[in-house]
Chain A
Amino acid sequence: DAGVIQSPRHEVTEMGQEVTLRCKPISGHNSLFWYRQTMMRGLELLIYFNNNVPIDDSGMPEDRFSAKMPNASFSTLKIQPSEPRDSAVYFCASSLAGVAGEQYFGPGTRLTVT
């Protein structure tokens, strides 16, 4: 099993540019999560999908952030326009047992916005 796959692993972009982060969950998992991790704020849940449907997006910081899950094997997190304060490590995780079960994390995407 390849585990959760995220791309790119590193992204450096200039303020104002659009950024798209990608995630492939573990096959058969029905729940997908996007997290952001910073030193200041720790690990924050941005959005949670169950069976490809967004269930909780209350953690999405603002309208500049959007997430989609067009099918069970792919999700994107988009930031448009990006700002320096968006710099963080973004993790995708998937779960077989819903939101309260064991989550499998991807390696993360380190985003730097200059």
Chain B
Amino acid sequence: SQQGEEDPQALSIQEGENATMNCSYKTSINNLQWYRQNSGRGLVHLILIRSNEREKHSGRLRVTLDTSKKSSSLLITASRAADTASYFCATSSGGYQKVTFGTGTKLQVIP
């Protein structure tokens, strides 16, 4: 079963707008990662946030983590057509920190 569930499943925005994706999970985690997958390609790591962190930035990406709500959000600011991809959250939990990927959000940025 999937640990993380992304919301929305699909998102379509105009270039220049901000895109926000959410990830909810069920059990306590060690860390949470966000990955991007372009069509027909492997996943690419974007950012990792630890369970004791609340916010992290990387370029145009901003990730927040609320462990009390068991949720995380990924914000992409000033979106570009090249940001069109599927975005997955991956949670690490348990004794050996098994990583489980969510269902993904498909983002389309319209030029």
| A34-56 contact mask (Cβ, 8 Å, vs B): 1 or 0 | 01000000110100100000011
Residues of A within 8 A of B33 (CB): 102
- Partner pick for A99 among B48, B98, B102, B103, CB 8 A cutoff: B98
| A77-114 contact mask (Cβ, 8 Å, vs B): 1 or 0 | 00000000000000101000011111111111000000
A106 touches B48 (CB 8 A): no
A102 touches B45 (CB 8 A): yes
A108 touches B42 (CB 8 A): yes
- Known A91-B42, A100-B31, A108-B42: A43·B88 in contact at CB below 8 Å: yes
- Partner pick for B104 among A4, A42, A91, A98, CB 8 A cutoff: A42
Number of A-B residue pairs, CB cutoff 8 Å, is 50
A100 to B93, CA, bound (A): 8
Tell me which residues from 40 to 55 in chain B have a Cβ below 8 Å from any Cβ of chain A: 41-45, 48
Residues of A within 8 A of B96 (CB): 55-56, 99
B87 at the interface (CB under 8 A from A): no
Residues of B within 8 A of A108 (CB): 41-42
B22 at the interface (CB under 8 A from A): no
B77 at the interface (CB under 8 A from A): no
A104 and chain B: residue at smallest CB distance: B45
A104 to B33, CA, bound (A): 13
A69 to B5, CA, bound (A): 32
B101 touches A42 (CB 8 A): yes
A100 touches B44 (CB 8 A): no
Residues of A within 8 A of B30 (CB): 100
Tell me which residues from 91 to 105 in chain B have a Cβ below 8 Å from any Cβ of chain A: 92, 96-104
- Partner pick for B97 among A42, A99, A105, CB 8 A cutoff: A99
Q: Shortest Cβ distance from A79 into chain B, in angstroms?
A: 20
- Beyond A43-B88, A100-B31, A103-B43, 11 additional contacts (C-beta under 8 Å) are A35-B101, A42-B103, A45-B98, A55-B96, A56-B98, A91-B42, A98-B97, A100-B97, A100-B99, A106-B42, A107-B41
